[in-house]
Amino acid sequence: MSEALAMTDAITDSLLAVRNLNGWYDESHVLHGINFDVRPGEVVTLLGRNGAGKTTTLRAIMGILGKRQGSVRFDGRELIGLEPRHIAQAGIAFCPEERGIFSSLSVDENLMLPPQVKPGGLTREAVLDMFPNLRERLGSQGTKLSGGEQQMLAIGRILRTGAKFLLLDEPTEGLAPVIVQQIGRTLSQLKSQGFTIVLVEQNFRFAASVADRHYVVEQGRVIDTIPNEDLAANMNKLHAYLGV
């Protein structure tokens, strides 16, 4: 733990700095002091077993967790205590683990739902070029799409908002390998366009292919930090952490 802290403390130019983040569901204390940093343009992952607190961390950053304490600084501004909509307007976009495609909206309506919060978002056309499958299904009910298409829609719609900081919760979960590859290419493309991404993943082979740095989450704490270039040397440790 002190090792993790020492490493995060070394980062001074973060776009997102999470410090001693605590979070609760009702009475149940789930996050016990999460610390990590994300620099502009980086892709950073949160790795960890099921139930470690990765989703809860994203929810706490987004402000949709009932109770949270500590500090989340984004672009120099403290987010703890802000309403979710103000956090979104600050330029953070969230793609939830369950994807959150609306069944009472068509694919097109789902795509156009999130309002623009900053100038410079992708156009509808650019999103459809990125995910051509969606173009043929624009009139369908959102939840009639396949799992992979729903994931593309969930990512695509937040790219329109102009937010350049993305929180993606397990975008490859349960998807076929070709779709996982397509999403991997998309993330690399987004990174090269200057997006900053926090990626929650269980699939660390996928994580290794896109990320700059990995934070290992266990029982509501960040217990280790592994730069992507050190990943191979740390495989044994990582297997132990993830129990795979």
Partner 1 sequence: MFELLGIPPQALFGQLLLGLINGSFYALLSLGLAVIFGLLNIINFSHGAQYMMGAFVAWMLLTYTGINYWWALLIVPLVVGATGVVIERLMISRLYHLDHLYGLLLTFGLALIIQGLFRNQYGVSGLPYSIPAELSGGTNLGFMFLPNYRGWVIVASVVVCFATWFAIEKTRLGAYLRAATENPTLVGAFGINVPRMITLTYGFGVALAALAGVLAAPIYSVNPNMGADLIIVVFAVVVIGGMGSILGAILTGFGLGIVEGLTRVFYPEGSAVVIFVIMAIVLLVKPAGLFGRTQ
Ligand X SMILES: Nc1ncnc2c1ncn2[C@@H]1O[C@H](COP(=O)(O)OP(=O)(O)O)[C@@H](O)[C@H]1O
- Write out the residues near partner 1 by the rule CB under 8 A: 62-64, 83-85, 87-89, 93-94, 96, 100, 102-105, 109, 112-115, 117, 158, 161
Binding mask 22-51 for ligand X (x = CB under 6 A): ---x--x-x-----------------x-xx
- Triad 182, 185, 187: Cα angle to 5°: 110
Q: Between residues 50 and 236, which has the closer beta carbon with respect to ligand X?
A: 50
Sequence-separated (6 or more) residues with CB below 8 Å from residue 29: 22, 23, 220
Please choose, from the candidates 170, 38, 46, 156, the residue with its C-alpha nearest in 3D space to the C-alpha of residue 101.
156
Q: Between residues 88 and 210, which has the closer beta carbon with respect to partner 1?
A: 88
Binding mask 214-233 for ligand X (x = CB under 6 A): --------------------
Q: Which residues of 107-131 are buried (b: 16+ CB within 10 A; e: fewer)?
A: bbebbeebeebeeebbeeeebbebb
Return the residues of window 50-79 that contact ligand X according to CB under 6 A: 50-56
**Nearest-10 Cα torsion for 200, 201, 204, 210:** -50
Q: What is the largest CA-CA distance in the chain?
A: 52
CB of residue 21 to Mg ion, shortest distance in Å? 16
**Structure tokens, 60:** 């706490």
Binding status of residue 55 toward Mg ion by CB under 5 A: yes
Binding status of residue 174 toward ligand X by CB under 6 A: no
Binding status of residue 57 toward Mg ion by CB under 5 A: no
Contacted by 112, from ligand X, Mg ion, partner 1, none: CB < 5 to 8 Å by type: partner 1
**Interface residues toward ligand X, by CB under 6 A:** 25, 28, 30, 48, 50-56
